[in-house]
Structure 1
Amino acid sequence: MKMAKKFRPPVEPRSFGSGLIVGCFLVSMTYVLMSKKDIVSCLPSSRSLLLSSSPSWSDATPSSSIVSNRKIQLSGHEKAAEESNLERSEAIDMPDDSSPAASASDVLSEEESSPSTDDKSAGRKPMCDVSGYRLDTCDIAGDVRVIGKNSSSVVLVGTPDTSSTDRNESWQIKPYPRKYDSSAMAKVRPLNLKSLNGDPEAPRCSINHTVPGILFSTGGHCGNCFHDFADVLIPLFQTAIPFRGRVQFIITNHQRWWMNKYRPYLTKLSSYDAIDYDNDDRVHCFDHVIVGLRAERDLMIHPPNGGNYSIMDFVKLTRSAYSLERDRPWTSDQQPGNKPRLLFIARGGTRKFMNLDEIVPMAEQVGFEVVVSEPDFYDVARFAHIVNSCDVMVGVHGAGLTNFLFLPTDAIVIQVVPLGKLDWIATNFYAEPAMGMGLRYLEYNITVEESTLTELYPRDHPVFANPESIHKQGWFKLGNVFLKQQNVKLDVSRFRSVLVKALELLGEKRD
C-alpha cells in the first residue's frame, strides 16, 4: 500500500526577531492546550475512529485474490522441465465456475467499485492470464468482437471516457493447453487480443450472440486419441459445462473430420453449431468470451480448479453421448453362468502383442471370454460399445489405453509397461487417470526377454544397461527407442498370474 506523503512547504530563511516572536507564541499555545488535557482526552482520536469502522488489514480480502504456492502436477513432456517450473508462487484465482453468473463481468464490477489508488490499474484483473505453465487463458466481458478469417483478432471495445484509459491491453496467445510443447504449439494458430477505448475504427458487428463464446483450437496433437481427450475434450468439458449448453463454440484450426468424430460430445456441451473461426469472415459480437480451455492434468480434473465438476461427471457425459448401457462390470453373483469379458487392445503400429495366439487361449483357460479389437480412428461409437461391454481391458502403454474411459465403473485396466524405465509416464498418463475414473488398476512390467528390442540391440547396449542415458537425450530419442521400436512378447505363465488376480478382483463385492 502506498502511503500518502504530507505536504511540506519549502523552508525559507527568516530573521532572528521574527523567530523569537513565533517561538513565544508557540510556548503560549502549548500552555493553553496542556491546561485543557482532561477535555482532549475524552474525545476519540481520528485514528481510533478509523480502526473501529474498518476491518484489520489481516482480515481484508482483495476482490481478485492471489493463491500462493499452488503446485501444478505435470504430465507428458512436462517432466523434462526444470523443477523450478513445477510451482507457480502467484496464480490468479479464477471466479467460481459453478454457475454462469460467476463470469468476468462479476469480477470487473467488483474491481471497479473498489477504492481507487495512485496506480489506476492496481487491483484490476487483466484480460489474459499467461502465468500458467500449461496454458494461457483470457476471460473477457463487455463489448467483445471476434474477427477470424482475415484478422485473427478478439477485440474488447470500451467507452471513450477517462475512467477507461487504463484498459488498453494487447495480447497474443495460442488457445491450446500444452504451451510448453513447441511441437504441438507450432500447429496452433496465434490469436491477437486487444482492448480499444471507443475506437471509431472498431469493426462493426455482423451478428450479435446472446450467449457467451468459447474460442479454442483443435490443432496441436489432435488426431491422437490421448491428446483428443487430454488437450481438448476434457478441458472443453471443464470450461463449457457450467453454461449448460448455452454457449457458442468458436474453433480455430477447425478440422471437419475431428468435428464429425467427436460430434456427440460437442452437441452435449453446446446447443449451437460451432463457428469455423479460420473461414468465417463475419464479425461475431458477444458480451462474454473465454479464449482457451481450462486444464490441470492429463485426463484428470482436480477440484477446486475443476469447480463443482469431477472427471466422473465427464465419464457420465461420455456414457450419455454414446448411449453406453453398462455402468458396472460383471460379478459372479449377478451373472451366474456368464464369463467376464476381457479385451486386448490390438495395435497396428508399434508396441504390439506379438504372441496373442498364445495369450488368448491362456486367458480363456483362466475363465474369460476374450475379445481382441483395435480402436477405430473415425468410428468412436463402435469401439466405445465394445469397450463398455467388457470387464477387463489389457493394453500396452500408449494412446489406445485412453479408451478405458468407456469401461464400466469398477472394471479393471491392465497396463503392460514396455522396457525402458517408463514407470513415471505409465503412472502419470494412465494409472492415476484410470483410478480417478473409478477403475481398478493392475500393471505388468515386462522383462528384457519379453521385449523385441533384444532383436535390435546387443545385451550390453545402454538401452538395457542404462535406460536413463537414453532419457537424458530427450523425449524424441526416448520415444523413438522405447516406444516406436519396441513390441512385446509376453511370458504366458508370468502374465497368467495377473489375469488370475483380475478375475479375483471382479469376484470381490463392491459398494
Structure 2
Amino acid sequence: MNSTAYSRPSKLPGGAGDRRPPTRLRGFASKIEPKKLGAGLLAGCCLALLTYVSLAKLFAIYSPVFASTANTSGLLQNTPPASSSSSSVPETTDAIPAEDTTFIGRENGNAVDPVDFPEEGPASAGSQEPGVPEVLSRKEDEAEKAAEAAATSVPNAEGGGEGAALAKMSCDENGEDEGFPYARPSVCELSGDIRISPKQKTMYLVNPSGGGGFDENGEKRLRPYARKDDFLLPAVVEVTVKSVPSAAAAPQCTKTHRVPAVVFSVAGYTDNFFHDNTDALIPLFLTASHLKGEVQLLITNYKPWWVQKYTPVLRRLSNYDPINFDADAGVHCFAAGYLGLYRDRDLIISPHPTRNPRNYTMVDYNRFIRSAYALRRDRPSALGEAPGMRPQMLIISRGGTRKLLNLEEVAAAATELGFNVTVAEAGADVAAFAALVNAADVLLAVHGAGLTNQIFLPTQAVVVQIVPWGNMDWMATNFYGQPAREMQLRYVEYYVDEEETSLKDKYPREHLVFSDPKALHKQGWQALAETIMKQDVKVNLTRFRPFLLQAIDKLQE
C-alpha cells in the first residue's frame, strides 16, 4: 500500500465550494523575485532557530527535571569538594531518586510543595516507609511534632524569622544499660534556627532566651559516634553546639534546607561489618527512618569508600546526598536536627520512651535492609512443597582466625542429610553477598562478624552458630544468638569442646585457656584477642550431625 501522507497535489483544488486565494494576493506574490523570496525565508528560519535555542537553554537552567537529571549522576561520589576553602556550598544535597520514585519539583534539599516534614509516623495508615509493615502500632514522638512545627519557619539566608523563638535543645546523655555501657551514647535534638558550619565544627542555635543544657560559655560539646567507648571517642570529630542570642551573632546561611539534619560519625570500628550495623546503620534507622527520606545526613570522620559501600541503605534513609562534614565550607541552615544517633544493644532494638518511642524492632530493621537491597525472599522454603526440593544452606567461611578446618567434611555431611550447600566468604560487595544470604534457608558459621549477615535472611530461616572454646557463651548469645531470636529467626548453637579447638596444639592443658577461661575474660579484650579469639575449630562430625538435623527440624516447625 502506497502512502499518500506526504504526496503533493498537482494543482490547487478548484472544485465547487473550494476556497481559493484572493486574486490580489496572488498578483502581489507573483511580483516578488524568487531569489529575494528564498533569502527572506532563509533569514526567517535562522531567526526562529536562534529563538528556540535561547529558550531551550533557559529552560535547561531552571527546570527541576533537567536539574535532577544532571545532579543525580554524581550520587554519593567518593571525592570530597574540589576546594574546602571555597565559600560556595558543594552540590551534595541534590535529591537522590529512589528506585521507584521520581523527585520532580525538588532539588538541593528544598521541597517545592509546602509540606516539608512527614505529617505522620511510620505507624500511620497507608504508611509507605520501606520495610516497615503498615499494621505495626507506633507511638507519635513529641520531638518529631516540634520539628514539624519548626519547619514552617525555616531560617532565611540573613537569619532571623520565627524559628529563633522556637529554639530548643534536649540531650540524652545519662542513659545507662547495665552490662552494655557503650549502648547509651549521647544524643542531642535541636529545633529552631540552626546554622551548621562544618568548617568550624559548630552548630549555632539562635537562642534569645539562653536556655538549654549549655555550659557557662553557652556551648555543648559532643562526639557523635553511636558507641559510648572512652577508648574510641578521642578519635571522633568533636562538634560544638553554640547558643547565640540573635541571628546576627551566627554566620549567614549559604544553604537553607527544608528537612531536618542528622550529624553523625563513621569513625571507630566501622571498618567491620558487625560494627557498620551496630554503630552506624541500625542507629541511623532508629534515629531517622520515621522521616521517610526527608532528612539531610552530615557525616563526620567521612570515609568515601564507606559511603559508597552502603549507598543502597543511605538512599533508603535519605533522599539527599550526604554532606562531607570534614570538607564542606558552607553554612547549612535547618529548623530541626539531631547531633548523634540513638542506639541499643548490638543487633537488638528494644522499646524505649525516648530512644525508640515508635517501638521499632529488629524485624522492622531486617525488612528495611532487605528492601534497601531489593531482596525478595521474606520466608524460607517450606520443606515438601515441591517434589525433590532441598533446603538451601550457606556456610560462611573465614580467611583469618576461627576457621572451620574441616569445612569440606561439614558441607558433605550437610549434603548427605539433604541440603544444597553453598560455601562463600563475605567480601566488600555487600549487595552480592546479601543476595546469596537471602537465598539461603539455613546460615551456618563460626562465631564472628560474618554472622551479622543474618540480617539478610528471610524471617523464620535458621541460624547455626559454632561457638569456639573458652567460655564464649556470653558473647555468642548476646552478639548473635539473642539477636537472631529478636529477628524471628530460628537459632541453633553448637559449643566446641577442648578436643575440637586448635588451642590444644598451642597450650598445655593446665594453661588458663583450658583450666580457667573466665580468668582470661576478666583480663580484658586484649587478653582474649591474643588467645581464645585466635583459635580455629575442627568439629567432631558425630557430635555435630544432630545439630544439622535440628536445623532441618526447625525449618519444618
Q: TM-score range by the shorter chain?
A: 0.7 to 0.9
CA distance in 2: counterparts of 1:433 and 1:357, whole angstroms: 28
Q: In the superposition, relative to structure 1, how do residues 414 and 407 fare at CA in structure 2: closer, same or farther (>3 Å)?
A: same
1:350 is matched with which residue? 401
| Shift, 1:97, TM fit | 3.2
Q: In the superposition, relative to structure 1, how do residues 139 and 403 fare at CA in structure 2: closer, same or farther (>3 Å)?
A: same
In structure 1, the gaps of 5 or more residues are: 1-94, 107-123
1:178 is matched with which residue? 227
Q: In the superposition, relative to structure 1, how do residues 443 and 457 fare at CA in structure 2: closer, same or farther (>3 Å)?
A: same
Contact 2:219/2:242, CA 8 A, preserved across alignment: yes
Residue of structure 1 aligned with 2:420, choices 356, 366, 369: 369
| Shift, 1:172, TM fit | 1.2
5 Å matches for 1:17-36?
none
CA distance in 2: counterparts of 1:447 and 1:382, whole angstroms: 34
Q: In the superposition, relative to structure 1, how do residues 219 and 373 fare at CA in structure 2: closer, same or farther (>3 Å)?
A: same
Tell me if 1:325 matches 2:376: yes
Tell me if 1:214 matches 2:238: no
TM-score, with length taken from structure 1: 0.73
1:158 is matched with which residue? 207
Contact 1:97/1:242, CA 8 A, preserved across alignment: no
Tell me if 1:307 matches 2:357: yes
Tell me if 1:136 matches 2:186: yes
Residue of structure 2 aligned with 1:424, choices 445, 467, 474: 474
Tell me if 1:224 matches 2:267: no
SS in 1 for 2:144: coil
In structure 2, the gaps of 5 or more residues are: 1-138, 151-166, 177-183
Amino acid at match of 2:372: A
Q: In the superposition, relative to structure 1, how do residues 165 and 357 fare at CA in structure 2: closer, same or farther (>3 Å)?
A: closer
SS in 2 for 1:307: coil
2:243 is matched with which residue? 195
1:489 is matched with which residue? 538
2:367 is matched with which residue? 316
2:289 is matched with which residue? 241
SS in 1 for 2:499: helix
CA distance in 1: counterparts of 2:312 and 2:249, whole angstroms: 40
Contact 2:147/2:260, CA 8 A, preserved across alignment: no
Contact 2:195/2:333, CA 8 A, preserved across alignment: yes
| Shift, 1:355, TM fit | 0.8
Contact 2:169/2:191, CA 8 A, preserved across alignment: no
| Shift, 1:190, TM fit | 1.1
2:529 is matched with which residue? 479
| Shift, 1:200, TM fit | 3.5
| Shift, 1:336, TM fit | 2.7
Contact 1:451/1:488, CA 8 A, preserved across alignment: yes
| Shift, 1:164, TM fit | 4.2
Amino acid at match of 1:131: N
Contact 1:251/1:275, CA 8 A, preserved across alignment: yes
Tell me if 1:406 matches 2:450: no
| Shift, 1:96, TM fit | 4.4
Contact 1:96/1:102, CA 8 A, preserved across alignment: no
TM-score, with length taken from structure 2: 0.67
SS in 1 for 2:326: helix
CA distance in 1: counterparts of 2:514 and 2:189, whole angstroms: 49
CA distance in 2: counterparts of 1:336 and 1:479, whole angstroms: 48
Contact 1:345/1:372, CA 8 A, preserved across alignment: yes
Tell me if 1:268 matches 2:316: yes
- Structure 1, residues 67-100: CA drift from partner, whole Å, max 9, x if none? xxxxxxxxxxxxxxxxxxxxxxxxxxxx943883
Amino acid at match of 2:466: V
- Structure 1, residues 435-478: CA drift from partner, whole Å, max 9, x if none? 11110001000000000011110111111001111112111211
CA distance in 2: counterparts of 1:333 and 1:363, whole angstroms: 18
- Structure 1, residues 300-324: CA drift from partner, whole Å, max 9, x if none? 1112442333221211111111111
Number of equivalences = 390
1:147 is matched with which residue? 197
- Structure 1, residues 340-372: CA drift from partner, whole Å, max 9, x if none? 011111011100000112211111111111111
5 Å matches for 1:44-59?
none
SS in 2 for 1:448: coil
| Shift, 1:182, TM fit | 2.8
SS in 2 for 1:453: helix
CA distance in 1: counterparts of 2:440 and 2:292, whole angstroms: 31
CA distance in 2: counterparts of 1:345 and 1:356, whole angstroms: 10
Amino acid at match of 2:191: A
Contact 1:104/1:141, CA 8 A, preserved across alignment: no
SS in 2 for 1:319: helix
Tell me if 1:503 matches 2:546: no
CA distance in 2: counterparts of 1:98 and 1:504, whole angstroms: 46
Contact 1:175/1:291, CA 8 A, preserved across alignment: yes
Q: In the superposition, relative to structure 1, how do residues 199 and 321 fare at CA in structure 2: closer, same or farther (>3 Å)?
A: closer
CA distance in 1: counterparts of 2:259 and 2:416, whole angstroms: 57
SS in 2 for 1:200: helix
Tell me if 1:392 matches 2:435: no
CA distance in 2: counterparts of 1:167 and 1:184, whole angstroms: 25
Q: In the superposition, relative to structure 1, how do residues 282 and 125 fare at CA in structure 2: closer, same or farther (>3 Å)?
A: closer
Contact 1:261/1:380, CA 8 A, preserved across alignment: yes
| Shift, 1:486, TM fit | 0.5
Residue of structure 2 aligned with 1:468, choices 518, 524, 528: 518
1:443 is matched with which residue? 493
Amino acid at match of 1:148: P
RMSD: 2.0
- Structure 1, residues 356-405: CA drift from partner, whole Å, max 9, x if none? 122111111111111110001x2101100111111111111111100001
| Shift, 1:201, TM fit | 3.7
| Shift, 1:165, TM fit | 6.4
CA distance in 2: counterparts of 1:317 and 1:333, whole angstroms: 30
Q: Which moved more, 1:128-137 or 1:494-503?
A: 128-137
